[in-house]
Structure 1
Amino acid sequence: MRCLLTGFPGFIGTRLVRALLVDDDVVVDALVEPRMVDRARAVAREFGDRVRVIEGDITEPRLGLDEALYVDLADTVARVYHLAAVYDLAVAEAIATRVNVEGTRHVLDFCRGCARLERLHYVSTCYVGGERTGVVLESELDEGQGFKNHYEATKFAAEVLVRDSMPQVPTTIYRPGIVVGDSRTGRTQRFDGPYFILWFIHRMNQFGLTVGTMGSEEATFNAVPVDFVVDAIAACSRDPETVGATLQLADPDPLTTAEFVRVLSRALTGKDPRGPAVTDSLLRPLLSLTPVRRYVGGTPFESLVFLHHPVRYDTTEAGRHLARSGLTCPPFHQYAPVMVDFFRRHLGDEELRAPV
């Protein structure tokens, strides 16, 4: 079975290729933008001739491919996995629109022309819910919500396109929460997202200080380990009952953001946060300074809002389908020590630092 995959050699994409190749009949064509081709080819050597790296560009019509190759792929591809996106919370609107929205539009155009298409597997995000509070259902999308950043807004717009195409393109939509490292090894590709909290705790600890209380007892932090996300997508690829489903790959019982910070602080320093609250009004002006932002691992002030956003992502449909494969999202406290240990051991690895 021939698959076309975007988002290689990214954090999730590379792991997903490995999981898909467990099936002996699967071969993967990885569509890779020009600047990533050399790295992609180096990573693809692990998979031998079962992974072909194709230079292309989802932001271009017909995926930036020459006509003969585009037609050949359209005639032979049975599954499409669309993972490529800009995930930066501070991304400019024009860039986010070009990659997340127009890129998805071009992938959908390709899918409509595929002679043998079995299914599109589209990776969205829970955060298409934007500024909504309370419980967000898997069946819901456009509820008139606003958005905290251009990343959320453009992923929402892209999912609208995907949903509108579902009568012509059989699709499964996956909405992961905030993806962190492997729950068994802690390995991650970059110290961003919740790792910014670890950086802040680490820097305070270097001065012999304990971080003050952070987060909220009302808001939740929905972290999910990358191995759960990959295993879920791979399992659903083999399950015809998931066609047409939207699955929120989220923690069904997330910690409050305050407890999330406490768990990280205990794992890293052996101490609970205590002392004056670390507020947005304190952090925002500090994080506007590039040297400060670099010192705390590249933390963008755009990430602060997630510590105070009271929202839960319902996982009823995901839980029902994944139960057939014996998959459940592990609770954060279970793998937090592994995640923190990897962070501690790789603090000096510049490749893992978020860009500033």
Structure 2
Amino acid sequence: MRKQSTIKLFFQEAQQAGRFASLVVVSLLLAVPGVLAQADPLPSWNDGPAKQAIVAFVQTTTDTSHPDYVPPEARIATFDQDGTTWVEYPVYTQARYCFDRVATLAQEKPELKDIKPFKTVLSGDKAAIAGLPMADLEKIIGATMTGMTVEALTGQVQQWLETARDTRWKRSYAELVYQPMLEVMQYLRANGYKTYFVTGGSQDFVRAFAQSVYAIPPEQVVGTMGATTFGYDAAGRPKLTEEPRLLLDDNGPGKPEGIHLMIGRRPVAAFGNSVGDREMLEYTQAGSGARLMMLVHHDDAGREYAYGPASKVGTFTDALMAQAKQQNWVVISMKNDWKRIFPWEQ
């Protein structure tokens, strides 16, 4: 009776103040339990097949009366990161980090200024840097991301994210996340799913910010794994040191391998954006029951970038597009499916 009396009072006050229409809405929300919970969970998505597929999948797999119901312990969703949840073009963010670290290293070791590929990076020649072969990139990664403790690397990455700015938008790289994908992650978690990163990026690099940027804890990050070595510091305290030795290349077939190694369950939903995610989507689809496989297609040159088969970064080949259509994977069009791309857009 108290709630009814309160609602009646709202109506009376609204009539007196000339705010009847707006307070009717408030009163209804107060009077009808669950109405607020039914708000659109994906407000940055345009209505269309992609959004409908996500909502239908969540409703189906969390409905205990549906034959495709998925028990909470099996609700696993995996996400690639670069190009799927934040900007990767024209250079991967981790590569930008490593290039910036070269300058710091050169101050500590001046001899690097005359040694390739460090000399190339320090020159600032964008064309030459873009043309660096994989062997040289591996040297740069090895020099900038190993030889320190795990904690030291985490601190360096976090400090860089606080200060570095993207050249196009002049914003922190942590701000260049895709708002629609943040909403998907939150929607899945609100319905009992665990969200994991399964990324080609270095595992400890992504772990440094996954919690603060995406609300994904470090133990739910599966990435390209480098070795660590146990030892003791000068004070006799145990430590782990990053080593330049590859344990897992978490790209292509390495993604299902990493999922099995680190998660131990086959995902029921997987999100990617390039040929490097194909095997993860195939592995996900091979399970029984309802499955959701989605690929982000970068086709919005105005708000972000448009690239595909010819790009060395985030390659989305014609063969991948054909496979997506044949196997009923959902291709997300940035241009058509997303109302806004970044959290800071109006």
Q: TM-score, normalised by structure 1?
A: 0.28
Q: For the pair shown, which has the larger CA radius of gyration, 1 or 2?
A: 2
